[in-house]
Structure 1
């Protein structure tokens, strides 16, 4: 009875392991569709440059296509009135070489129809609208912050022109150069800036278009307040006064935003983590429109501050992560593949053990009636093997037959089942030796009896 219970418990365990493996696999696969949704909240900013209502269209205009075509035919470089783009003429001429290339530069702030008139001048190889450089189906756009900075702080488009010529001629692109130089602002330059910032938090230099700071955007971007410095687009080819680092040394804990024309940069707490993220994302999205149109600094600053707010709500600035309740599945998920593997391994081991002991289970657990059936089966096996034996296997066959006769006499004499089982085990061993000697695997007792009893 105890043996039977052990067999039943082992079978239950074997199938329980298989079910546990299936449950682990199913749970793991279903969990792959789960998506973490962790946020500090919805950003209140609306970072956008509204088209047509932000003062981006200037009073500038361009001549007719025929007039511009005539101008380009007479001069390889034509700069229309109001043009702000500048470039290194020596480097551009060296890049153009003997192949020749004609450049038509127009001012920013043109409407779409006037921009299209510029591009309709067929004898121009390169069109520049504002600081956007295009031609031959290509548009040259900066791919890093130094390129955007040179374009919007001083109107420098040298790298863009050189890259466009290389693309048109299918030659390797030359490396970009950070053409901007920096200098320390003098005490005479810095004193009025510091005084205005400490008094009002804002300074706009002569020529800057920033009339006011967008208060709502500034409050959400910098709740503790910030200083704002606005300068006009700087002269091309001259070092820029580095107001940001100078002011940061005076007030290390104060957020500082400095504008050079359409270029915006940040100095202050978390500048190493935040400034590059905000700058890259802002100019990558809005750089094309800023290049072609004449947005006032107030509009540019408002959108930049909106991007700062978006970054803050994304969890930067060293803010702690939001509370996340304990999730047992999230904790246990990495262990599910190992649990699945262990359950499958246990099922396989128990299955192999079950197969190997199938024959022994028939012989060991069927009681006296089973002994009689086993003895009859072994007797039939001995008869079949007697037709195959030779001198080498005859002794084992004789011993096996003798043990079978002794077992039959023990049964007839009512001897204990234990004694009968021992005799049958020894007889089976001798008959197994015969089967192996004659190379007949099907006549091995375990195989023969399993087939006979089934």
Structure 2
């Protein structure tokens, strides 16, 4: 019976003790979690100059001579080239490919003594150094790279890139460089290329190859095969490829792209004119310009100096297409990207950190009064102590006279007095001590009434004790 009577207050005290036991380790555990989350978040925020697009292929540095870009072409000695340049205003070394509009270049040269030395593409660094050592050459053209003095003329528009890499035409670069060397205004750019529709027989031959093999390689083109891995990443649904050799300068280029896009709707069409890549098909109006501008702005210098096979040019261009797709510029299906738990959880880490710190502070504030002796106000005074002592004395006297009917109330009263004494010793809040004393007084009063002894009722007993 005593166990049943004391269950409520005993359970309350037990719960408080258990809470106090796990609050301290929980507090420090949360602090450790907060520190760990902070470290992970800061490490994930490290700065880097590398740029990547998901898991897209990265364009690594290509050592000279490792991609078939060097040829067997060679140049004479510096003395021999100096003599040739002194004898002729324009010297074309064997294997030179650069062409230009002679009238436009002659107009910008005027009456100046401008001498041009033209060398073939695919020279190694030592041979290019020999070209630069020819001091009486005003302008040097290596492949289609145009330089003179401390300057180098670089295309910066799609028409000028197309002219250079589809037909080896360097008119715009020559005109701009010579005008700059002579301190004259640069004439406006003029697109030197014109287009024509392919003849029915030409289109039929190309379309037949595309249906049968997915690609067409014209005579003179250097494409041996489409890079399968790069093509699958760039165009997962498949594409069709046409490879043409460098086009003759001054002649219209056959515009295969639009015609083939009509024959193969919703299919990417890739057409190579020498080292120039044209794209037609889905989202061509926006995608083609972005792919061309970003690709030739990065690789234009290497393509100008060297003689890359079309396999290499197409592979690098397909990698660029994949990078653009990974960038999410267009609403096209993105390649598979492995699940990254850190990437998913990273936005939540600051909130986890803040929550751990907040709970740590709350638990620290709750434990601070017990540590510093600053607990909430408790009952400390002669009135409470006297009341507790008086009720305890009353319970002792009543225990000598109670019977089976009054025992339960007395036991409950004694249990409440024990809880009140413990609360007073543990410096619990005053309201809790008063509530326990009130419970004890009510139980003792019930026992006195059951015993039919009015003098043992707490109100009378304490009044007589304190008087």
Q: Corresponding residue for 2:301?
A: 288
Alignment of 1:249-260 (within 5 A): 249-260=262-273
Q: Corresponding residue for 2:119?
A: 106
Q: Corresponding residue for 1:313?
A: 326
Residues 135-159 of structure 1 deviation map (CA, whole Å, 9 limit, x = unaligned): 0110000011111100000000001
From 154, 160, 165, the equivalent of 1:147 is: 160
Whole-Å Cα distance in 2 between the matches of residues 319 and 246 of structure 1?
Answer: 23
Whole-Å Cα distance in 2 between the matches of residues 250 and 48 of structure 1?
Answer: 39
Q: Secondary structure at the match of 2:180?
A: helix
Displacement of 1:327: 7.7
Displacement of 1:317: 2.5
1:131 and 2:120 matched: no
Whole-Å Cα distance in 2 between the matches of residues 180 and 248 of structure 1?
Answer: 21
Displacement of 1:316: 2.3
Alignment of 1:60-79 (within 5 A): 60-79=73-92
Displacement of 1:282: 0.6
Whole-Å Cα distance in 2 between the matches of residues 203 and 274 of structure 1?
Answer: 23
Whole-Å Cα distance in 1 between the matches of residues 286 and 60 of structure 2?
Answer: 20
Whole-Å Cα distance in 2 between the matches of residues 60 and 231 of structure 1?
Answer: 23
Query: Is the 2:53–2:323 contact (alpha carbons within 8 Å) kept by the matching residues of 1?
Result: no
Whole-Å Cα distance in 1 between the matches of residues 85 and 206 of structure 2?
Answer: 44
Displacement of 1:119: 1.2
Distance 1:123 1:215, change over 3 A: same
Whole-Å Cα distance in 2 between the matches of residues 261 and 40 of structure 1?
Answer: 28
Aligned length: 301
> Under a length normalisation based on structure 2, what TM-score does the superposition of the two structures give?
0.60
Q: Corresponding residue for 1:116?
A: 129
Whole-Å Cα distance in 1 between the matches of residues 286 and 133 of structure 2?
Answer: 44
CA RMSD of superposed structures (Å) = 2.9
Q: Corresponding residue for 2:316?
A: 303
Whole-Å Cα distance in 1 between the matches of residues 243 and 60 of structure 2?
Answer: 20
Q: Corresponding residue for 1:239?
A: 252
Displacement of 1:273: 2.3
Whole-Å Cα distance in 2 between the matches of residues 296 and 42 of structure 1?
Answer: 26
Query: Is the 2:121–2:304 contact (alpha carbons within 8 Å) kept by the matching residues of 1?
Result: yes
Q: Corresponding residue for 1:264?
A: 277
Query: Is the 1:86–1:158 contact (alpha carbons within 8 Å) kept by the matching residues of 2?
Result: yes
Displacement of 1:118: 0.9
Distance 1:185 1:328, change over 3 A: same
Displacement of 1:278: 1.1
Q: Secondary structure at the match of 2:111?
A: helix
Runs of 4+ in structure 1 displaced over 4 angstroms?
47-50, 319-330
Distance 1:49 1:207, change over 3 A: farther
Distance 1:222 1:166, change over 3 A: same
Q: Corresponding residue for 1:358?
A: none
Runs of at least 5 residues in structure 1 that lack an aligned partner in the other structure: 1-33, 331-454
Q: Secondary structure at the match of 2:289?
A: helix
Runs of at least 5 residues in structure 2 that lack an aligned partner in the other structure: 1-44, 47-51, 338-342, 351-467
1:86 and 2:88 matched: no
Whole-Å Cα distance in 2 between the matches of residues 149 and 241 of structure 1?
Answer: 14
Residues 120-144 of structure 1 deviation map (CA, whole Å, 9 limit, x = unaligned): 1111100000000000110000011
Query: Is the 1:69–1:121 contact (alpha carbons within 8 Å) kept by the matching residues of 2?
Result: yes
Q: Corresponding residue for 1:356?
A: none
1:158 and 2:171 matched: yes
Query: Is the 1:58–1:110 contact (alpha carbons within 8 Å) kept by the matching residues of 2?
Result: yes
Whole-Å Cα distance in 1 between the matches of residues 239 and 141 of structure 2?
Answer: 36
> Under a length normalisation based on structure 1, what TM-score does the superposition of the two structures give?
0.62
Whole-Å Cα distance in 2 between the matches of residues 71 and 225 of structure 1?
Answer: 52
Whole-Å Cα distance in 2 between the matches of residues 40 and 201 of structure 1?
Answer: 28
Distance 1:318 1:106, change over 3 A: same
Distance 1:45 1:223, change over 3 A: farther
Q: Secondary structure at the match of 2:114?
A: coil
